[in-house]
Structure 1
Amino acid sequence: MSTSSDNVSCPISGPGSRKEKKKQAKEERDRLKQVEKKKRRLEKALATATAIRIELEKKKQRRKEEEQRLDEEGAALAEAVALQVLVEEEVNSFEDNMCENAASKLSTVPPLRKAFIKNATTSDAQPTSVTSNELIAEAVSMNSISVSKDKREEVKRKLVITDWELFSNPRDNLTYSSERAKAAELAAGMAAAQAVAALKIAEEARAEAEAAKKAAEAAICQVMDRKYFTLSEADQQATLYPLNIEMERDELKARLEETERRLKEKTKQVFHLEQSLEDMTQYLLCLKSKLPLPNNLSDKETEVSERSSTNLTESSQGITNY
């Protein structure tokens, strides 16, 4: 009985079970390789996202420097406009004072009606430029009694009134000065408008840079979220793979237990058959010993009968061993 049970338990660890184990180990290695590949791809994606983030930080720093430069240029332009306005105001006040002084000094000069004196000696009769200080000095010298007539004519040839006009009364002269002041204010206003436009352009560039920065940050966040979800899914799969292996192992174990149970049942049936066959063999042997052999049987027939009984006994023993 012990010999038959040992012989039955041996085929359990046969070539089939070894093949199953090898197949299971191979599948597990393949799954681990797939998980490693996914992890490497995710690491590459994370490195790419980090490089993109660094590049965006560099672009952000360059935009900040550009905005700072534009702010400095706008401040310098506004300062230049303010200085220009102050200079224009100083010039206008200086011209007003000079006009009042000239009007007081030219009260005795013969009246000139908004005309300019041309140089009579030149061929093209083009007016020559003269400054306001020279005009005042020459006019004062003409007012002196000791100056000769030739000297007066020479002064008249030199004087040319182009943008500075000598009026007959101080009111006209002040009107002309106020017009010049208005023109200067208009120029200052245009410069200020240009400065405001430059500042507005700088603000628009800053707003565009902020919008681009927000869009880039949103894109990076979206990519990072997608990679995070992929990584978490890969981790879940990696954790599920051992669970699947455990389930398959339990299933194989249950199959082996079922096979062992069936083998035990078959072993019991074989054991009962062996007992029945042994009883039958003993009965036949007893029957043979009890029956008398006839005298006319030859030795050859006796040998055949003994051989058949021997074969029957060996077959019963072989079944028992099985």
Structure 2
Amino acid sequence: MSTESEPGGMRLDPSLSTIMSERRRLTNLAYRLLGSLADAEDVVQETYARWYTLSQEQREGIKSPGGWLTKVAGRICLDQLGSARARRERYVGEWIPEPLPDRAEWSGGRPGGATTDPADRVTLDESVTMAFLVLLDAMTPAERVAFILHDVFGYPFAEVAEIVGRTPGACRQLASAARRRLRASEVSAARTSRQAALVRDFKLAWEAKDIKALIDLLDPDATGVADGGGLASAAPRPVVGNEQIARYLVAVTATADDLTIVERTVNGQPGLVVERDGVTAVVIAFEVAGDRIRNFWAVANPEKLRSWTTG
């Protein structure tokens, strides 16, 4: 059997297609662990770089290349999570995970555009809703890694232990602690149809600057969090209470005639995008509890909106 070669007689690595087929899964894992698509892409690149620093003999001795790549990516993420809290202390204002568009309706910043964005490699499900990611961010790094690897990606605790650097029993306890946090927060995805209706009503009330209607749509103890990263205007602290949020939202748009609010899917759920002169300026994700909006997260930091603005 002949071996396929590149021009100039360079033989192709027979395992290349197998190795590269892991990229999507690694990106999905790293995004859930870090809450940043940009950081996830960096982790995947670093993981592949480490693979190719191995000798051919070392690579051939690895029984499960996919398992090896996952272990390396998981450890890189764990290290990044450990230093993230120090970086957050220097972050201007509130930090919110990077929102992702739905490739079916939004790609390259244009509805109906070609699907070339890295976000296309992230599977949007209940483990990437903004409410879920925000809660994950409150966990310890070890809890987050153990929970995501075991409960979301199905890795046995024996393999998780190799990544986290603890015993399988300790990893089981970490994942259990993470589940208790989830139950205590009562984070659950609302029916898409119900959330879509509430978000649409919210949009209409906001456009009409109808403070009473906004108050009625928001839970009395609702919280609104904005992330400008020091690069865009945003409330420096969370706004709490339905009336306070309603008045804040109306004030934000009261003097802005160049803004357009459109319905978009954000991290797999109905959300809103605020456009300025046709360019995405803010992406808003929602959490619904019962018949009202309990939380929303507005990302205005342009560095976190590249999936929405670049073609």
TM-score, normalised to structure 2, is: 0.16
TM-score of the aligned structures, taking structure 1 as reference length = 0.15
Q: Which has the larger radius of gyration?
A: 1
Q: Which one has more relative contact order, counting CA pairs under 8 Å at least 6 apart?
A: 1
Instruction: Looking at secondary structure, tell me which structure has more strand per residue.
Output: 2
